[in-house]
Amino acid sequence: MPELVVRMGELAISTTTGDVLVCIGLGSCIGLALVARSGQACGVAHVMLPDSGGRRADKAGKFADLALPALLDGMARVGVGPHSLDAVLAGGAQMFEGSTGIEIGARNEAAVRAGLAAAGIPVAAAATGGNNGRTMRVEVGAGSVTVREAGADEETLRPPSTKPLRGEAPWA
């Protein structure tokens, strides 16, 4: 399966079944996944900072306040409106225990959640906060999202979308 690595500040959208969108080593950054409920289209942003402060960014995924509109725009372009999307979040950790000044994980998460709430997109699952870095994988087609911490097993955040079977009676 082709893995498309979404690096810090980047954003990617795919409708190709089997593509896997990956954010590797999320620390204070947030991996924001928007998944069409059918699973057929997925978008991921690797958000680095909560607020652009009106600045222009050379990468659309960098700031939470710019990343979400850019993702929604991209999803709309592949025919998925905001009302058929689930959000899944990973990251936003406080990597250095006991530090104060260099932590933006919690602020990143708050900014992303506020944006999603304003856009009316439900957060289906999240693995956020804590002190550990994470890698998030989003499988296009299935619409499944997994997360893994260092030295741990992969965990399912969003199970594959269930597809209605053709010809099967709903009561069967």
Question: Does residue 3 interact with another protein by CB under 8 A?
Answer: no
- Between β-strands 3-5 and 42-47, what pairing exists: parallel, antiparallel or unpaired? unpaired
Q: Which residues of 93-109 are buried (b: 16+ CB within 10 A; e: fewer)?
A: bbeeeeeeeebbbeebb
Smallest gap from Cβ 162 to another protein, in A, equals 31
Question: Does residue 153 interact with another protein by CB under 8 A?
Answer: no
Locate the DSSP E strands across 38-104: 42-47, 85-91
Question: Does residue 150 interact with another protein by CB under 8 A?
Answer: yes
Question: Does residue 104 interact with another protein by CB under 8 A?
Answer: yes
CA–CA separation, 121 vs 37, rounded Å? 11
Determine the size of the site formed for another protein (CB under 8 A).
Answer: 38
Would residue 23 show up in a list of annotated catalytic residues for this protein?
no
For residue 63, give the DSSP letter. Answer: B
Give me the residues that bind another protein (CB under 8 A), please: 7-10, 24-29, 48-49, 52-53, 55, 57-59, 62-63, 93, 95-99, 101-105, 131-135, 150-151
- Residues annotated as catalytic (active site), given as ranges: 29
